[in-house]
Each structure stands twice: as structure tokens, then as C-alpha cells.
Amino acid sequence: MAANSPPWLSACGASLKRPLCGRDAKPLCLLAEGLAGADLAASEPPALLVGGGRILALGQEALDHAEADPAIARQALPGLWLCPAPLDAHVHLTLGGTVDANLERSQRAGLAAVRDLGHAPNKPNPRTPSGGPPWVVGSGPGLGALGPAGSWLAEGLSGSEAFRLAAEARARNGSGVIKVFATGLLDFEHPGQVLHGEAVGLAELSAAVEAAEGAGLPLAVHASGIPAVARAVQAGASSVEHGFFLDRATMRAMAQARVSWVPTCAAVRAHAQDPEGRHTPELRKQLAGIYQGQLQALAVGEALGVDLVLGTDAGSYGLEHGAAIFAEMECWLEAGVRPVTVFEAATRRAARLLGLEHSLGSLKPGAQAWLLALPGDPRREPLTMARPTWRSF
């Protein structure tokens, strides 16, 4: 806890933490300066009733409960805003350290959940650490092409039947999302080009979508370049991961089909910044150009109404788990994306993409009481989420 904690924190001190988080927690009514991520009329008081580790009521209803029941403690939070903890919709827990260390970093950064999108087939699936946070929604090893067009984070497959069977197997094994690697990596030396842009065809993608839908799961597609992203949209993917080098027509198709876009800008910025000196100066320049292009596309995507969701590719070069989400927010703000969109993309929209909208990503009755208390409205300044005054978990 910060040394300059406001008076109300020192008044209730560490005891506030357990009552909010534990299942046995007694009801507590919090009256904040404001609530972000709540569907509450402006005329309602910014009050939140929590208990048993969950949000029980909001607004006037929360105050009415506290009024009627003297056993409910009240806590004023002058000057502080409450919001739900953010989620990272694209990480690789097996990369950039051990899975346990990466989950610990994610917890320390205040993430409510992460979506783990692919690992080498010989590794076990990362799981939620005893109750979380963070909750882990994982794909298991991805589904990719055979040979050099495939990904080392995927099982190499050939033909639509193989994609269908692999997707069904992932669903049986507890995956919360099916991941297809439909293209290779960006061709850093040739901006605008993608390695193995035709790695996975429409028939394979469609078979994977059908199997995923049959199991009630979303399908996330790693794809960059217009043809591959257009195929993912046509096949019925739930989300496009990365999606570099897109034009307006492709983004418009994504908006119309309600395909979410996780643009992972910080991953390319990290390559351009090159903290370990892996690249030549010439290549760093190319990478900076790719990064700027993605920022421009992101701004267009927002204007066209694409469902932008915040995810990072944490675990890839120069991107630490947990902290990566704030790096990604910085990129979006640099692109000129509206702060409220950045906030929504990291909370409500991410929770919806992860299938966790009833529990995470917004302040509503029944949701987890994983809360941040901030010195301002995160819909105006989303980066305040990186340095909360206090959090409940």
C-alpha cells in the first residue's frame, strides 16, 4: 500500500482486503466518487454493495440495503473511482519465464483474467492458479499448418478433417477457445508482407469454426494481411489476432460480422525498441514503420466500429506478463483511440470475448468483487489502472 494512502485507507487498513475478496466476506457498502464500468444512471449514487467476494448491488439499491441492515458496514471513498480489474485477451504463459512466474506477474499487475493463445504441443496447458486471479482461458496448443508454414506454438495439421478433429479434441480437453495460426509471422524485412500468408485455407478454417461452435467455443485466428484476415472473417472466426496490414474494406467487413480485433501493437513496438539489441538499425526502422502503420489502422478500425479488444502477446520479445497490458494501452492512446474505448477494450469487451462477461469486466450484481480504486475516472485516463490507489485482491 502506498505511503501516502488517503485517510479512509488507514482507517480501515488491510482489513478491507479480506472482507471484499473472501467467500465468507461480510457485506460492505462502498460509496465512491464514481463508478466506471457500471450500467448506472447518472442520477444514481456511485455506491457498490459487496459481500462473499461478489458484487451484490449498485447505486440506490446498494444504499437501501445498507440502510435497512445495520450489520452492513459502510465505507466512503472520497475522491476515488471504482472499476473492475482489466483482462489481457492475448498472452503466452509458456513464454518469457515459467508459467507460475508469469501468472504471478499477471496477478501483481492486477489482471482479472488472461486468454492464453497457444503453446508448444509438448507442454501442459496452463491452468488458473487456485481460484485466481487471474483466471486462465486457454486454447492449448494452436492448430496450424504442417511444416515451415506452421507455428511452433501449434500442432501441425493438414486438411479440414484434421482441423475439425483437433478442434474437437481441444474442446474435450478443457480449452476455452480454439486458436488457429492461419499465417506465419510478419516479414520484418519487407514491410506489408507476411510470411506464409496462405498457410491455412478457408476449408480448414471453416472446419475449425464449425467444431468450435459445436462445442460452444469461440475461434481465435492469428492472421495478418488482407487475404488471410478476409478468410478468417468469411469462415466465421470470433476474433482476429494481430491483423497487421489491413485496409478499410477488410475492417468494415470485420465490423459488420462483429469479429473482434486484438491488434497487439505493443509486441511490434517492443521489437522496434529492441531492448536486447537483436536487430540491425535498418530493421528497427522497418519495425517502427510497421508499428506506426498498425496505429493508423487501429484509429481507422475504431472509426469504422470494429470491436477492438485489448490483448498483448505478453511473453513475446520485450513484453513482460502483466505490465504488457499497460504498454498496449499506451500504444492505443498514441494511436488516438478514445480513452473510453481503451478502458472498455480492457474490461467489458475483453470479458465478453473470453466468455466471462457475467463475472468480470464490469460492475454488476453477481460479478467478482475484483476492484481497483483509482484517483480519477479510468474512462478518461485508462493508464491510472496501472497505479491504483488500492485494489481488493
Q: Could you list the residues that contact Zn ion (CB under 5 A)?
A: 313
Residue 359 Cβ vs Zn ion, minimum distance, rounded to whole Å: 24
Q: Pick the closer one to Zn ion by CB: 75 or 151.
A: 151
Residue 12 Cβ vs Zn ion, minimum distance, rounded to whole Å: 41
Residue 99 Cβ vs Zn ion, minimum distance, rounded to whole Å: 15
Residue 315 Cβ vs Zn ion, minimum distance, rounded to whole Å: 8
Residue 96 Cβ vs Zn ion, minimum distance, rounded to whole Å: 11
Q: Pick the closer one to Zn ion by CB: 84 or 118.
A: 118
Residue 181 Cβ vs Zn ion, minimum distance, rounded to whole Å: 9
Q: SS3 sequence, the chain?
A: CCCCCCHHHHHHHHHHHHHHHCCCCCCEEEEEEEECCECCCCCCCCEEEEECCEEEEEHHHHHHHHHHCCCCEEEEEEEEEEEECCEEEEECCCCCCCHHHHHHHHHHCCCCEEEECCCCCCCCCCCCCCCCCCEEEECCCEEEECHHHCCCCEEEECCHHHHHHHHHHHHHCCCCCEEEECCCCECCCCCCCECCCCCCCHHHHHHHHHHHHHCCCCEEEEECCHHHHHHHHHHCCCEEEECCCCCHHHHHHHHHHCCEEECCHHHHHHHHHCCCCCCCHHHHHHHHHHHHHHHHHHHHHHHHCCEECCCCCECECCCCCCCHHHHHHHHHHHHCCCHHHHHHHHCHHHHHHCCCCCCCCCECCCCECCEEEECCCCCCCHHHHHCCCEECC
Residue nearest to Zn ion (CB): 313
Q: Pick the closer one to Zn ion by CB: 180 or 251.
A: 180
Q: Pick the closer one to Zn ion by CB: 72 or 111.
A: 111
Q: Pick the closer one to Zn ion by CB: 29 or 154.
A: 154
Q: Pick the closer one to Zn ion by CB: 88 or 313.
A: 313
Q: Pick the closer one to Zn ion by CB: 85 or 153.
A: 153
Residue 1 Cβ vs Zn ion, minimum distance, rounded to whole Å: 34
